[in-house]
Amino acid sequence: MPIHKKSQKGFTLLELAIVILITGIMFIPLVKMYEVYDKKKRVNITRDRISEASAQVQRYILNLNVGQFSALPCPADPTLPKTDPNYGREFMDCRSQTTYATYRAALAAEGLVNTGDCTGGASGVCLVDGQNTTASADLDGDGNPDPVLVGMLPITDLIAAADYVLPESLSYDSWGGRLTYGVSAYLTNENLYQFYGGTIRAQNEFGRATAGIDNNAHYVVVSHGENRSGAYHHESGALINPCGAVFPDPNGAVDHENCDLDAVFTSAIGYYKGDTNRYYDDFLKFVSINDSRVWDEIVGAEYHIRNLNRNNIGVGTNAPTTRLDVNGNTRITNNIRVKEICDKVTGNCFEVDAYAGNRIGCSSTNGAIMTGIKNTGSGPEEDCAFPMDFYTGNLKPRNCRDDDPNAWVKGITSDGEIICTSD
């Protein structure tokens, strides 16, 4: 009877190593594909959050006062943890002030006086100089750049103002860094708001104006990207990476511009080589809310309107030098109300009240009439005289009611005689 022997065979260590190597090689493309997928997903999530957050900032204007422009929200302090009761809330009351001076005083009360000041000393909501230096953008008229505030998106206030449920995740990007929010300060107050008051610079990586905006962006929402340079942690509020710390040349890096505490922000094409100053991984959105209307209704004053143009208006001239400059005749059917009338060439003025108000009257001279206006050196005064009796050549007091109790003075002749009428 034949005897059959069973033989057992297995993998040698060499064969097993070869199998693992081949399997690893096969997984390399899959890992790379997943990395690309993950990065693309994070980019898309971040872009979507920035767009939605920006939309909520714009809706905030309308939600404060339905149907009317009100004001943009102020930033929140980016250093507060989520457990803090003031987390995601505007760092101060930005809407109770009525003048530029009182708004500046409110900023000063928070420690924001000079450019570079921050509510927490070196961090928090910071005050920087705006970039729009045109005369029309100098809303407070002090000849200096108007202020810009830089902090965190005020997510708690945006959620409260929304008419539907908003996720808190709108306040940070897909890498866990809080979204930075910079806003032209005076546009956060409805008493001071002017749609031409934007003063944030939007530029590309070459320093040129971009996105159809130059130095007049109203606000900007920024994600500091994967390297989180200048970003605050979405839970703790701790600074993740100091601005520019991850680069060999932080002062020259394009990416550095969005966290260096000024009113200049750069939107560029992503360039992820971290060993060069061209590195850029940020995402941001500029917004300039320009109104194409010339006239607007005055709320609370029925049928009253106002001109939204802050500069001079010319009629018959392309170079108006005053608020309303008319080259030609002006016809007014009813009354014209002015305080002074001035000579355009010399600039000399006199008050209308000198001859059309309560100051008029020559009664103190016992019956004299006003024959004109004279300049006494201290201002215009009525020029009084007694009318002439041409029959005797003597001056005598006279008024129209000497002859007719129903008559009244219609005018004055060139020789000082009054003209009476009872019509």
Tens digits of residue pLDDT in 83-93: 999 999 999 99
- Determine the Cα–Cα distance for residues 277 and 30; give it in Å rounded to an integer: 31
Residue 100 confidence (pLDDT): 94
Does the pLDDT value for residue 184 go beyond 90?
Answer: yes
Window from 263-267, 308-312, 344-348 with minimum mean pLDDT: 308-312
Q: Determine the 3-state secondary structure of 173 from DSSP.
A: coil
In terms of pLDDT, which residue wins out, 346 or 8? Answer: 346
CB neighbours of 5 closer than 8 A, spacing ≥ 6? none
- Determine the Cα–Cα distance for residues 313 and 355; give it in Å rounded to an integer: 29
Does the pLDDT value for residue 392 go beyond 60?
Answer: no
- pLDDT class for 324, splitting at 50, 70, 90? confident
- pLDDT class for 273, splitting at 50, 70, 90? low
- What is the H or E stretch that residue 149 is in? strand 147-152
Distances (CA, A) of 128 to 20, 262, 263: 58, 6, 6
Does the pLDDT value for residue 31 go beyond 70?
Answer: no
- What phi-psi label fits residue 363: left (phi over 0), alpha (psi between -120 and 50 degrees) or beta? alpha
> pLDDT over 90 for what percent of the chain?
33
Q: Determine the 3-state secondary structure of 375 from DSSP.
A: strand
- What is the mean pLDDT of the segment spanning 368-380? 65
Q: How far is CA 370 from the centre of its chain?
A: 53
Residue 268 confidence (pLDDT): 85
> pLDDT over 70 for what percent of the chain?
70
Does the pLDDT value for residue 68 go beyond 50?
Answer: no
From 233, 265, 220, select the one nearest 256 (Cα to Cα). 265
- What is the mean pLDDT of the segment spanning 110-133? 92
Residue 363 confidence (pLDDT): 54
* Bridge partners, 210 (sequence order): 213
Residue 66 confidence (pLDDT): 40
- pLDDT class for 397, splitting at 50, 70, 90? very low
- What is the mean pLDDT of the segment spanning 17-21? 73
Name the average pLDDT for the chain: 79
The answer to whether 174 touches 42, Cβ cutoff 8 Å, is yes
